[in-house]
Copies of this chain bind each other. A is one copy, B any other.
Amino acid sequence: MTLGEIATPALILDLPAFEANLAAMRQACAARGVRLRAHGKAHKTPELARRQIADGGSAGICAQKVAEAEAFVRAGIDDVLVANEVVADGTIDRLARLSATARMAVCVDDATVVPRLGAAVRRHGGTLGVVVEIDVGAGRCGVSPGTPAADLAATVAAEPGLRFAGLQAYHGAAQHLRTPDERAAAIARAVDLVRQSLAALERRGIPCPDVTGAGTGTFTLEAASGVYTEVQAGSYAFMDADYARNTPAEDAPAFAHALFVLATVMSTAGSGRAVVDAGHKAASIDTGLPVVHGRPEIAYVGASDEHGVVTDPASTLRLGDRLLLIPGHCDPTFNLHDHVVAVREGRVEAVFAVAARGKGW
């Protein structure tokens, strides 16, 4: 089957570009002496996680939700960090159940969760790594760096069934700062807050096995910091229109666009414009509109639920023509599709289930 035969809109993975991105990230992390734990929230696709581990140098996988982790473990991935807080009784129980069969870890930012995690893990006979998340500037989850982080780590370390697995210091907003200088300044502050937390842990006599965090936009900075040991990047494997707006740092590897939404021209009735069959139910627009790949004369200028309006100043588009769209944001775009069609040189090689799609609980 060729690209031209696929019903649209369809999520397309260019395998050579994906494989090149995996190789570039594997090399970049190896050269810098940090571990890669690729973030599965980006793709929610167990087969892609499996390839990141088998071929891409990833030591395991991050998930953002327990239901995502369940999908990955079910597919045979046996080392998962839920890089997020879990607070509901039912969700804690499901996480503890996973911890009896796979190497699991989770984040905390509240001491009251610790004994509940411990009780659940002991009930299921597993062990669970617990990472203390600190807020390094994202303004979202995470305790304050320094003493509060060390206090929470002490609570974790004292809880039977749990092991204190380190600190999570992820600065999501920094990934999308456009210039290398802005990103360097944000991560320098984050590194400083990590150091304060490590010092507080040392004062308490608590060894810190790992510092995990970083994303595609900044990971070379965290990797060079001397304090981060693990990189959680996810978008590097796919790239998107938003990441393409970053000016890359000089020492950062180049990642290629590997993820596309294939769309068909469904109307040329309007003058100077055409309409494609992919709107924001096919390509997420939370960070901006898709960009048309390889056709600089055509711009995607308006997304509604099921339609995309593209400019066509020279009226070159014909009904049924196909366009490859680079999504604005890869993670939520994967979350719109049940399958991703993997192609090599225009031919379909495989179709992968986005098995954790919608699994947000």
Which of chain B's residues have a CB closer than 8 A to the CB of A86?
266
| A268–B358 CA distance with the chains assembled, in angstroms | 25
Q: Is A65 an interface residue (CB 8 A)?
A: yes
Residues facing B in A3-32 (CB within 8 A) are 5, 7-10
Most buried by B among A269, A270, A303: A269
Task: State whether B269 touches A142 (Cβ < 8 A).
Answer: yes
Q: CB distance B269 to A9 under 8 Å? A: no
Kindly state the separation between the CA atoms of A319 and B113 in the bound complex, as whole angstroms. 9
Would you call A232 an interface residue if the criterion is a C-beta within 8 Å of the partner chain's C-beta atoms?
no
Whether the pair A7, B91 counts as a contact (CB closer than 8 A) is yes
Per a CB cutoff under 8 Å, which of B84, B90, B135, B278 touches A7? B90
Q: A331 in the interface, Cβ–Cβ < 8 Å?
A: yes
Flag if A280 contacts B286 (CB, 8 Å): yes
Bin chain A's interface residue count. 35 or more
Other A-B contacts than A139-B302, A140-B302, A280-B332, 5 sampled, CB-CB below 8 A, are: A140-B309, A141-B269, A142-B270, A281-B332, A281-B335
Question: Could you tell me the distance in whole angstroms from the C-beta of A145 to the nearest C-beta in chain B?
Answer: 11
Judge whether A85 is part of the interface by a CB distance below 8 angstroms.
Answer: yes
Q: Which of B140, B305, B319 contacts A304 (CB 8 A)?
A: B140
Contact between chains at B270 and A320 (CB < 8 Å): no
Q: Which residue of B lies closest to A286 (CB)?
A: B280
Closest 4 CB pairs of A and B: A7-B361, A141-B267, A109-B269, A64-B306
- CB-CB nearest in chain B for A322: B88
Residues of chain B within 8 A (CB-CB) of A264 are 87-88
Q: CB within 8 A of A266: which of B141, B267, B273?
A: B141
CB-contact partner of A140 in B10, B140, B172, B275, under 8 A: B275
Contact partners of A284 in chain B: CB under 8 A: 280
Interface of A is mostly: loop
Query: Which residues of chain B come closer than 8 Å to A338, judged between CB atoms?
Result: 358
Q: CB-CB < 8 A to A101: which residues of B?
A: none
Is B320 in contact with A267, judged by CB distance below 8 angstroms? no
In the complex, which residues of chain B have a beta carbon less than 8 angstroms from the beta carbon of A110?
A: 267-269, 319
- The listed residue (B140, B172, B335) touching A267 by CB distance below 8 A is B140
The answer to whether A337 has its CB under 8 Å from any CB of chain B is: yes
A188 to B270, CA, bound (A): 21
Task: Tell me the A310-348 residues at the B interface (CB within 8 Å).
Answer: 319-320, 331-332, 335-338
Answer whether residue A244 sits at the interface, using C-beta atoms and an 8 A cutoff.
no
Is there an interface contact between B7 and A87, defined as CB atoms closer than 8 Å? no
- Whether A140 contacts B9 by the Cβ 8 Å rule is no
Which chain B residue has the least Cβ–Cβ distance from A264? Answer: B88
Query: Which of A9, A84, A265, A305 has the most B CB atoms < 10 Å from its CB?
Result: A305
| A33 contact set on B, CB distance < 8 A | none
Query: Per-residue 0/1 for A104-116: is the Cβ within 8 Å of any B Cβ (1 yes, 0 no)?
Result: 0000011011000
A307 within 8 A of B: yes
What are 5 A-to-B residue pairs whose CB atoms are below 8 Å?
Answer: A7-B361, A8-B88, A84-B266, A281-B358, A305-B335
Q: Shortest CB–CB separation between residue A256 and chain B, in angstroms?
A: 23
A309 contacts which of B8, B139, B361 (Cβ < 8 Å)? B139
